[in-house]
Structure 1
Amino acid sequence: MSSTTSTATSNITPLSGSQATQRLLPFALLVFLGYLSVGMPLAVLPGYIHETLDFGPTVVGWVIATQSIGTLLTRQFAGLITDTRGAKNAVIVGTVGCALAGLGYGISGIINAMHIWSLVALLAGRAMLGLGESLLITGALSWCIGTVGPRHTGRAMVWVGIAMFGAIGAGAPIGAAIMNKYGFMAVAATASVLPLFALTVGLRKASIAPNGGRRLAFHKVVGLIWRHGMALALSTVGFGTLFAFLGLDYAAQGWSGAPYGLTAFGIAYVAARLFFGGLPDQLGGQKVAMVTIPIQGQGLIALWLAPNPVAALAGSALLGAGYSLTFPALGVDAVRYVPPQNRGAAMGAYVAFVDIGLGITGPIAGTVASHFNYPATFFVAAIATIVAIFAAVQAHRKDGTRAIGTDSFS
């Protein structure tokens, strides 16, 4: 059997940090290419919905949230597929789903004169993207951890996150540039093609056999990690608000360069993970989260009070730097509670809290923007971040003695 189709075992000899990173890089490329289908439309959809389809900020919020709602509703399915059929299969199906999402965008663009039906097609595309993203990220996280070993769980999350938010940071200006030069249909076509390149990378990687043993029911897995997940959901509100409403905030204040705010977020996010990505594994997730979540709050306050686009860029960068390590910090602690045969379900359940955070962000922030103004949405997100700090402390106190421990996964 060829090396591209052979099955590796999860019981591998412990790797050094550099060896683990080397093994993770192809997976990072795979996720980056697939996740560009998520990043590219983010800078385009708010303006398209508002200007072309003539809907207000509340509808913008719901359209952005539809992907997260779709992802949330399919996380259990993604975890089941990953644990029973293998992470590689989940990733392959996920990349195809991401590619199909572009068809919904394309149909929306073709019939954009019929505003309601165009919106329905757009929502269908966002829902399909939610399913694809769910399978892609759940499978990729489990595949990465199985490849490098549980001792490098934080490192695996770091590199998947670098790929995800690198794709968002790069995808936003790319999407805006394609929209400005070629129009919405070109964005839809590009968003359909890029995941197919991710598919080719995934097909060439060796699969990881699912772990044997008795599996916990999904609701029991959620019960083991929900406190860490709730802290993650609350800290995700700021990220969701930025990507849904930064462009409209810039436009309302007469500023230009909103896509660069998303790029600033992405650059800071990637830089923080490159320089400090080993800290969750080295110091423990709790210590790291107690630093990174307040940094997010500072960035959101800066966005709320920003008097000019330069200040808004700085706030976006602070938010990116803080949120960067919050995900692996809370995740390193959460994954210790779940046996390896439920790792896919655990990843699905944990990442589902990102979906919960994003899912509540769109409607709530849209309502706040409609009744007040766009900067007020960042103030509300800052409050959510403060609550996230208390949630993370509570998770540590309640679960501090219940972890299975990473050594038992080896």
Structure 2
Amino acid sequence: MSHTPTHAQARPAAQGQASIVLKLLPIVLAVFVGFLTIGLPLPVLPLHLQNTLGMNTLVVGLTVGSQFAFALLSRAWAGGLADTRGARRAVLTGLLVAAASGIAYLCSLAFTGQPSTALAVLLLGRLLLGCGESLVVTGALSWGVGLVGPQNAGKVMAWVGIAMYGAYALGAPAGMALYSAYGFAGVASATALVPLLALLIVLPVRGIAPAAARRLPFYKVLGSVWVPGLGLALCSTGFGVITAFIALLFAARHWDNAALAFTAFGLAFIGARLLFGHLPDKIGGARVALVCVLIEALGQLLIWGAEHSLAAYVGAALTGFGYSLAFPGFGVEAVRRAPPQSRGAAMGAFVAFLDISLGLTGPAAGAVATAAGVNAVYLCGAVLVLLSALVAAWLCTKKVPA
């Protein structure tokens, strides 16, 4: 007797899910293609800095992390642009700026005989990429929430995250292949061209009206989301030490195929989002984050103690799986605390904690690697990820009024 209404209710629910995915699809595709700009140089830039320019691990960490520092500095502007001028404009502007970063990478090759100058031009490219990434992800999240409603914020973050980390998973081995075949010039050229393809995908999509002419000051928005933001910052260190140092760990251990670690991370990340991406909206973001950061910490410990590349791949996969749902888990908590008229700024403020984390993780992990070896950074990553479990547990006790 009870089966008929259950099936009748399931059909419109499934149709609703399909409608949400269709609305988000062009934005998600544009984010995926645009974020290849970050994925392509991920395993290559540390090798180029160390092998071609002769930089030490601290400089490698600072250069890789600088992108996230520059993204952090542009978050308030990106969120304000999305709220007052429209999220579509933020995304389009970000893709053009990201393309300019590839041009800067190309220009740096003219100075390989002068490593300090080449490094300065590369840092300009990182600055442009950080600003472009800030605009694209802040605009995409705000655009998506505007299209499907704040009650589906977790799904928006899940799908945008699939696009981002899918681009990392595909971009890393593609970047290594380009590097092997054409050197850093091939990677730089692809980085300049790929965002223009994303621009073509998203240009026909109609934007949403700006949220409001008047909005809260950024520091007030920041105050409303800082606790889930702290959780995001702590759990993002696991991702940060993989992006900055997994290629160097494989090189130090004389293991091949470091790019597969990025792929393992990205595939596990995507798989978790596809299978369980509905859970933060359904059962609560803090609960999901609490379980997932424990899985992520286990992955970090596996990489730290790895005696063979296979253990490192499994550790990268567990890190990706856990981090996958920790991001929207903490993100749902941030959206629930955000003022509606400043949702773009709130998304920018929340993701700013990711920038803080990744910006600090690079140089800090570089110092740890110099002092104690590359594998030690993964023990530090595990400890910081575990601290995010305390934030998630605290959020579980704090209910936000509907």
In structure 2, C-alpha distance between the alignment counterparts of 1:368 and 1:358, rounded to whole Å: 15
1:263 is displaced (CA, Å) by 0.5
- Matched AA of 2:344: G
Match of 2:141 in 1: 141
- 1:147 is paired with a residue whose SS is helix
1:213 is displaced (CA, Å) by 6.5
Does structure 1 retain, via aligned residues, the 8 Å contact 2:287–2:393? no
Match of 2:164 in 1: 164
Match of 1:3 in 2: none
Q: Deviations over 1:113-158 (max 9, x none)?
A: 1100000000110011000000000000000111111121110100
- 1:254 is paired with a residue whose SS is coil
Match of 2:178 in 1: 178
Does structure 2 retain, via aligned residues, the 8 Å contact 1:338–1:404? no
Match of 1:58 in 2: 58
Does structure 2 retain, via aligned residues, the 8 Å contact 1:140–1:160? yes
Listed as ranges, the matches of 1:70-109 within 5 Å are 70-109=70-109
Aligned length: 389
User: For structure 1, which runs of at least 5 residues remain unmatched after alignment?
Assistant: 1-14, 406-410
Match of 2:322 in 1: 322
- 1:364 is paired with a residue whose SS is helix
Match of 1:281 in 2: 281
1:110 is displaced (CA, Å) by 2.1
For the pair 1:271 / 2:265, whether they are aligned, the reply is no
- Matched AA of 1:320: G
In structure 2, C-alpha distance between the alignment counterparts of 1:404 and 1:218, rounded to whole Å: 22
Match of 2:40 in 1: 40
Task: Output the TM-score relative to the length of structure 2.
Answer: 0.95
1:393 is displaced (CA, Å) by 2.1
Q: Deviations over 1:208-231 (max 9, x none)?
A: 001236421110111011010001
Match of 2:207 in 1: 207
Match of 1:195 in 2: 195
- Matched AA of 2:237: V
- 2:240 is paired with a residue whose SS is helix
In structure 2, C-alpha distance between the alignment counterparts of 1:367 and 1:299, rounded to whole Å: 22
Match of 1:244 in 2: 244
Match of 1:216 in 2: 216
1:404 is displaced (CA, Å) by 5.3
In structure 2, C-alpha distance between the alignment counterparts of 1:190 and 1:240, rounded to whole Å: 23
- Matched AA of 1:99: A
- Matched AA of 1:84: T
Runs of 4+ in 1 over 4 A off after TM superposition: none
1:28 is displaced (CA, Å) by 1.0
Does structure 2 retain, via aligned residues, the 8 Å contact 1:210–1:341? no
- Matched AA of 2:306: A
- Matched AA of 2:282: Q
- Matched AA of 1:108: S
1:340 is displaced (CA, Å) by 2.1
In structure 1, C-alpha distance between the alignment counterparts of 2:76 and 2:168, rounded to whole Å: 25
Does structure 2 retain, via aligned residues, the 8 Å contact 1:166–1:267? yes
In structure 1, C-alpha distance between the alignment counterparts of 2:243 and 2:211, rounded to whole Å: 37
1:57 is displaced (CA, Å) by 0.4
- 1:42 is paired with a residue whose SS is coil
Match of 1:8 in 2: none
- Matched AA of 2:186: A
Match of 1:341 in 2: 341
For the pair 1:380 / 2:377, whether they are aligned, the reply is no
Does structure 1 retain, via aligned residues, the 8 Å contact 2:162–2:269? yes
In structure 2, C-alpha distance between the alignment counterparts of 1:109 and 1:32, rounded to whole Å: 27
For the pair 1:255 / 2:264, whether they are aligned, the reply is no
1:257 is displaced (CA, Å) by 0.7
In structure 1, C-alpha distance between the alignment counterparts of 2:216 and 2:77, rounded to whole Å: 14
- Matched AA of 1:342: S
In structure 1, C-alpha distance between the alignment counterparts of 2:393 and 2:287, rounded to whole Å: 10
In structure 1, C-alpha distance between the alignment counterparts of 2:25 and 2:207, rounded to whole Å: 16
